[in-house]
Amino acid sequence: MNEIEQRLADLSLTLPTPAAPVANYVPYTRAGTLLFISGQLPFGADGKIAAAHSGRVGAEVTPEAAQQAARLCAVNILAQAKAALGLLDNVRCLKLIGFVAAAPDFIAIPAVVNGASDLMVAVLGDRGKHARSAVGVAQLPLGCAVEVEATLEIV
């Protein structure tokens, strides 16, 4: 078991079969050493969006549930990266953009997106440390509370 697999095991985390895109695009593209991962939604291990992860944070969705949703988005980013590359040993996370469906007046957006950022560092270690933008948006696909896209580097 290598280092990444050990961390996944320590987190009791199994990467799911990556979700198929919900529309006419592909889950990732590669250009040289850059790997662009499509915006990932918080599909769970059962391939479904939990009710707790649907709606706007600060209204139907609690901040805690939203952070879990962001974590799932990051798990799905890693699942796509593994599908692209076969293993995660040479993946570095360059940048995340976290989109949070936010109720009016909900501004604790960074804490929500931390669910994704923390998972990246937990699994990839120093190579998980990334640049990031976090924004509160009006609506996300399928009514999800969080969507996260990633730019990765193959090192």
Give the H/E segment covering residue 63. Answer: helix 63-85
Please check whether residue 98 is in contact with residue 146, taking contact to mean a CB–CB distance below 8 angstroms.
Answer: yes
List the one residue from 1, 12, 31, 86 that touches a second copy (CB under 8 A).
31
The answer to the question of residue 82 lying near a second copy (CB under 8 A) is no
Read off the tokens for 21. 């895109």
The answer to the question of residue 60 lying near a second copy (CB under 8 A) is no
- What type of residue is 150? A
Nearest of 87, 101, 91 to residue 136 by alpha carbon: 101
The answer to the question of residue 153 lying near a second copy (CB under 8 A) is yes
Please check whether residue 134 is in contact with residue 110, taking contact to mean a CB–CB distance below 8 angstroms.
Answer: yes
List the one residue from 65, 81, 113, 123 that touches a second copy (CB under 8 A).
113
List the one residue from 6, 14, 17, 133 that touches a second copy (CB under 8 A).
133
Report H helices in 11-108.
Answer: 63-85
Site for a second copy in 89-108 (CB under 8 A): 92-97, 99-102, 104-107
Binding site for a second copy (CB under 8 A): 21-29, 31-34, 36-39, 92-97, 99-102, 104-107, 109-111, 113-114, 117-118, 121, 129-143, 147, 149, 151, 153
